Structures are given as C-alpha cells and as structure tokens.
Amino acid sequence: MKLLKIIAISVSIAFTPFVSAEKLAVLGVQEALLKSNAAVSFQKSLQSELKGEQGRLLELEKQAKTLRGKIQENAASMSEKEAKQARLQFQKVFQEYQRTGQELQQKRTEREQAFLKDMRPKLDEVIRKVIKENQYDVILAKKATVFYGPGLDITPTVVQMLNK
C-alpha cells in the first residue's frame, strides 16, 4: 500500500508542468514609491502644512502632563473641591489632546492616501516600462521573497525612473 502511494506521487510529480521563468526580478513597490523625489517632497510639504497643528498637539500634551503632575504632587494638600476641579481641568485638556491627535492623524492619512492615489498610475507605467525594456517573465514582491541574489532587485531602477 505504501509503495503504491509513493509510485502515485512520483508519477504525478513527473507529469506536473513546470513553470519556467527565464528572467525574473524582485521589486519593493512601496519602498520605490517612498524613496522617490515626489514622496520626499510630499512628506516635507505635509510636515510644513501640519506644523501648526503638530505644535498645538505638543502644547496640549505638555499641559496635560503638567496638570497630572500637579494633581499627583498636591493630592494630599488639596481640598475635595480643589481636587475635583483639578481632575476636571485635566480631563478637559486630555480630551482636547486626544481629539486634536485623532484629527491630525486623520488629516495626515487622507493626504497620504491622496498622494498614493495620484502616484499609482505613474508607478504602474514605470513598472510596465521596466518589464518591457528588460523583458522580465516574473517580478516577485520583495517583502515576500526569502532570498534573492545580487542584481535581482530592480527597486533602485524603478525609483530612478520615477524621479525622471
């Protein structure tokens, strides 16, 4: 019985069609996009655009930490009314900090998604051009590849072409 299984497996392997790729490469799509001049420029402009809101967020964080420290240091010497008022003030500042942080993150995410949406057609065009010029049969995702030899990574080439 065991011999029959071995023979059946051997026969099925022998007649399995093999995929033959003459020319293959690996590509870090996200890496190529993030290393492009357009992405670097976008990050700088986004940072500049959100600078005021980031400053406001840092100021709120500082206020919350200061209030929390005062509450912890003076808890024993505060009356019940003073302690309650200090906790309410801390909660108000902390809630404003959380709301501002969420709004800032949402704005950043929306702007980044819009940038990626704008860049995707250009990236696809560059990748197709690299495939056609080099006649690649297969391009593997760099993140999904366990090992690849030197010269198979076309990410720098894609970045260079994106920058043109």
pLDDT in tens, 94-128: 999 999 999 999 999 999 999 999 999 999 999 99
- pTM tops 0.85: no
119-143 per-residue burial string, b: 16 or more CB within 10 A, e: under 16: beeebeebbeebbeeeebeebeebe
Q: Residue 107, class by beta-carbon neighbours within 10 Å (0-12 exposed, 13-18 middle, 19+ buried)? A: middle
Domains with residue ranges and CATH for the chain = 14-162 (3.30.910.20)
Average pLDDT for the chain: 88
Q: Is the confidence at residue 28, as pLDDT, over 80?
A: yes
Largest CA distance in the chain: 87
Average pLDDT for 74-100: 91
At a CB cut-off of 8 Å and minimum separation 6, what does 50 contact? 104, 107, 108
